[in-house]
Every structure is written in C-alpha cells, then in structure tokens.
Amino acid sequence: MVTVKPLPHKRFKYVLSRWRRWIRYWYLKVLRQEGTPEAIARGWACGAFAGSFPLFGLQTIIGLLLATVFNGNKLTAAAGTWVSNPLTYVPIFYFNFQVGEVLLQQPITFDEAQLESWSDLSLAGMNFISTLFIGSSVVGVGLAVAAYFLSLWLMYRWRSLRAARQFQRRKPPHDHHL
C-alpha cells in the first residue's frame, strides 16, 4: 500500500487551520467564563504579574496561587502567564533587567576576575538575580494593572454586546397593521 503525503503547502494550511481552531476554542472559552468581570480581570492580572518573572515552569502555579488569594478566575490567571512564552522570554527579561538596573542605579558588569573565586562569582550572581527580580516586580505590577483594567473593560464590552444580540433575537417582530 502506498501512502501519499500531502504537499508541503497543503500541510502548512492544515496545521495553520488547526492552530486557528485551537486559538478560537480557547478565546471563546475565556470569554465565556462564569463569574464577575472583576474576578476574571483579577485572574488576568495575577497571571500577567506571575508571567513577568523568569520562573519557568512555576509561573502558572504562582498565577493560580495569586488568583486563589485575590479571588480571581483561575483559567484567566493561567492564560495570563502566557505573556511570557518561548518567543517573548528574551525581550521581556532583558527589559526587566534594564528596569532593575535603572531602579537600583548600578549597572551590572561581569569580568574575568569574578570567575576566579566562588565568593566573587556568587556575589555577581546575586546582584544579577536581584536586579532581574526587582525589575520583574516593577514590570509585573505595571502589567497586572494594565491587564486588569483592559480585561475588565473588554469583559463589560463583550457582555453588553452579547446581551444586546440576545435581546435582538428575542424581540418579537413589530406588527405595522392598524
């Protein structure tokens, strides 16, 4: 039996259509979440905050814990951590590091002398990590505030548009005969 592989451009279209369906599924799943717009927005904010830290593998767990503490939606908290993903890790964490350097007002430099002793190397590493985490904290708070207000506005807007569409569907036709 001979199997025929699809042509590369047809395979690409197929994969692209699958990705579109997957994205649309999650988009609608997030929009149709139960709960108040405020709880959904708190979930996005918790996720965006957790996603700004370079804690690969722990961002979702931290986002879920924060959503539990702040009574936010857990699904949107998990989705909010996607602000950092393999495509955005380097630019986000580089930016966070730069913010940390500005806030601490001490540029971090590395030289070969720091590699000669464990104490110098550990001090350089601690300076690097603290600079990155301070920058991540500040950027995370900014992202959380922006995510909260943007998602709150979007949820109210989407729900009002959905209510208007449902109202239009239920509205009986007018009888113009006198």
pTM of the entire structure? 0.75
pLDDT band at 168 (very low <50, low <70, confident <90, very high): confident
**Mean of the pLDDT values across residues 50-69?**
94
CB atoms within 10 A of CB 133: 17
SS3 call for 126: helix
pLDDT digits (tens, 9 = 90+) for 97-156: 999 999 999 877 766 666 676 777 677 778 888 999 999 999 999 999 999 999 999 989
What pLDDT, on the 0 to 100 scale, is given for residue 147?
96
Long-range contacts of 131-135 (CB under 8 A, 24+ apart): 131/97, 131/100, 131/101, 131/104, 132/54, 132/93, 132/96, 132/97, 132/100, 133/53, 133/100, 134/99, 134/100, 134/103, 134/104, 135/95, 135/96, 135/97, 135/98, 135/99, 135/100, 135/101, 135/103
What pLDDT, on the 0 to 100 scale, is given for residue 17?
84
pLDDT digits (tens, 9 = 90+) for 146-167: 999 999 999 899 888 888 888 8
- Domain map (residue ranges) of the chain: 37-163
Q: Residue 44: what residue type?
A: W
